[in-house]
Amino acid sequence: MDYQTKMKAKRLLNQPFITYLLIGITTIVFLGMEVSGGSENTMVLLNWGAMSKRMIVEYHEYWRFFTPMFLHIGWMHIILNMVTLYYVGAQVENIYGHWRYLAIYLLSGVSGNLLSFSLGASNGISAGASTAVFGLFGAFIILGRHFKNNPAVSFMVQRYATFIGINLLFNLFSSSVDILGHIGGLVGGLLAATFLAIPKRSEEFNIHERIISGMIFVFILVVCFFLGFKNYV
């Protein structure tokens, strides 16, 4: 393999292809929902795997902790989330690497849906990539601890932290926004990014902190799971 071919291969591998893949899958699913009767139709949402406490408790459809992050309710919902994923996801993927990034995304989405399941309304239905996207914000905030002398990273961390605060504040009393999912995704992202660490710099992450973060993450998921059944009425 000559030098130019190697450089082309390297540039290709450096592309945020996981972000592109996630956007592609989510968009295809959304179009499928639209064709099936509309993404805002309750039955369509349930049939495609939206978050539903009732369906999980009564019918043991546990895949609903995973599938909602690929579903969206209306065009504005998916456009906002996919634009955010495009910009934030590419940055996080570039730093954490493709597979760690994918793990953070999926784990954040699941943790957000589990918190929503544990404390949310029994008859509620929710969907959206926001749970996973908030996890990416959390992963970026973790970078601030390890790149304190990098002005660009510090600026982005402050920017995202401000956005998170404003978003949570404005959506605190909104019945149309699953704020529990956002909070759960954020916490999941903070913990997942800590125990997964950054490639080639993982030695800078305290091993005890990584282990404890992983244990806390699992503990929270288990508690949320059983709490959801207990709180179901």
Q: Which of 52, 116, 118, 130 is catalytic?
A: 130
Residues 133, 83 contacting (CB under 8 angstroms): no
Check 108, 111, 182, 213 and give the catalytic one.
182
> Which ranges constitute the DSSP H helices of 14-87?
17-36, 42-48, 53-59, 75-84
What dihedral do alpha carbons 38, 42, 45, 49 form, nearest 10°? -160
Task: Tell me the C-alpha distance between 225 and 113, whole Å.
Answer: 10
Annotation says 130 is catalytic? yes
The CA distances from residue 120 to 29, 184, 194, in Å, are: 25, 12, 27
CA distance 148 to 139: 15
Separation of alpha carbons 181 and 128, rounded Å: 9
Q: Please state, in angstroms and rounded to a whole number, the distance separating the CA atoms of residues 221 and 112.
A: 9
Give the Cα separation of 78 and 61 in Å (integer). 24
Residue with tokens 């529990």: 180
Q: Give the residue numbers marked as catalytic.
A: 130, 182
